[in-house]
Structure 1
Amino acid sequence: MQHYICLMKNNPRNFLLSLTCILGLFSCTQIDLYEKTVTIPGHAWQSSFKPSFTFTIKDTTALYQPFVVLRHNDKYNFNNLYINLYVQLPNGDTVKRMQQDLTLADDINGWKASGMDDIYEHRIALGGPEPFKKGDYKFTLEQVMREVPLKNVLDAGIRIEKVK
């Protein structure tokens, strides 16, 4: 407590700057609907490992933007990632399979991701915003690259944002 008071007395400008930064960090962490990632065991994605993500849609008047979230290190050997995305709809018996070619890098600019040190995070939009029906959805990711296991992939997941 004394350190806190000392910081305010000695340099109120630094205190205000620190407080602003902390509040800014907390305001950036709001998720509009759903985001979850799972750690890839051993950072080597086996084709048999198919992470699944279940979320609920309540507001049918909004549009939603789905994303694939992927984290890898700088030793990942490819500019892209081929996945099959399986979507189980609220009626429970309809599963749609969509093959996706996710571009992770290009030869000119490098990784298309935010990065810190040697870890990169991609949030790749899947199509455009679309309406979702009310109910529970299940998204399953399957990597379908030729290299098995797919090394240097740390986490994979799904993010669903409500479009405002």
Structure 2
Amino acid sequence: MNKKSNLLFLIILICFTSCDKKRIFDEYKSVGQTWHKDSVVSFSFSQKDTLKPYNLFVNLRNNNKYPYNNLFLIVELEQPNKQTIVDTLEYQMANAEGTLLGDGFTETKESKLFYKEKYQFKNSGTYNVYIQHAVRHSGKITGVENLDGILDVGFRIESTE
């Protein structure tokens, strides 16, 4: 790359990172070609502010290989005192016609899914988040062994201000 290309790339990068003023934490992890039912995606972050509320999100990148209209997740939020909040969540991933929801111009879509709205952290310190899929076939007890179409799982914290 020449100097002009490098400068243009740097300006674009700065614009994208500086325009996201609400972001407190934002990280993605790849789950590979399929998301195994026993694979837990984990995130760790430090939180000092116990006064302001924050919005917490599970972010997903998925493609047309995702075969379902909805997605079930088990999300655990482990606090610094080792107390853990466990939630089983359901998200709609496609409309009635089967078209994937989410943002993106290609077959890969990015979904920003509310986990907790206006959540106030009770303790300062290190928090851990564990996310696992809990997708089941209708009428079956055992989970889907390998979930196709989910590429990356993310966790995001935003300021509500």
TM-score by length of 2: 0.80
Displacement of 1:32 in angstroms is: 2.1
Q: Does 1:68 align with 2:58?
A: yes
SS in 1 for 2:50: coil
> Structure 1 residues 152, 108: closer, same or farther in 2, change over 3 A?
closer
Say which of 146, 151, 156 aligns to 2:148: 151
Task: Please give the residue correspondences for 1:121-140 in structure 2 after superposition, counting only pairs within 5 Å.
Answer: 121-133=110-122, 134-140=124-130
Displacement of 1:46 in angstroms is: 0.3
Task: Please give the residue correspondences for 1:16-35 in structure 2 after superposition, counting only pairs within 5 Å.
Answer: 22=12, 24-30=15-21, 32-35=23-26
SS in 2 for 1:106: coil
Displacement of 1:108 in angstroms is: 5.6
Q: Where does structure 2 lack aligned partners over 5 or more consecutive residues?
A: 137-143
Displacement of 1:60 in angstroms is: 1.8
- Aligned match of 2:45: 55
Displacement of 1:120 in angstroms is: 0.4
Say which of 146, 158, 161 aligns to 1:161: 158
Point out 4+ residue stretches in structure 1 off by more than 6 angstroms.
none
Q: Where does structure 1 lack aligned partners over 5 or more consecutive residues?
A: 5-17
> Structure 1 residues 140, 109: closer, same or farther in 2, change over 3 A?
same
- Aligned match of 1:107: 96
> Structure 1 residues 130, 149: closer, same or farther in 2, change over 3 A?
same
> Structure 1 residues 52, 3: closer, same or farther in 2, change over 3 A?
closer
Equivalent pairs counted in the alignment come to 147
Alignment identity in percent? Answer: 26
Larger radius of gyration: 1
Q: Which amino acid aligns with 1:154?
A: L
- Aligned match of 2:34: 44
TM-score by length of 1: 0.79
Rounded Cα–Cα distance in structure 1 between residues aligned with 2:69 and 2:93: 5
Q: Which amino acid aligns with 2:158?
A: E
Rounded Cα–Cα distance in structure 2 between residues aligned with 1:96 and 1:26: 31
SS in 1 for 2:23: coil
SS in 2 for 1:25: helix
* Contact kept in structure 1, 2:60 and 2:111, CA below 8 Å: yes
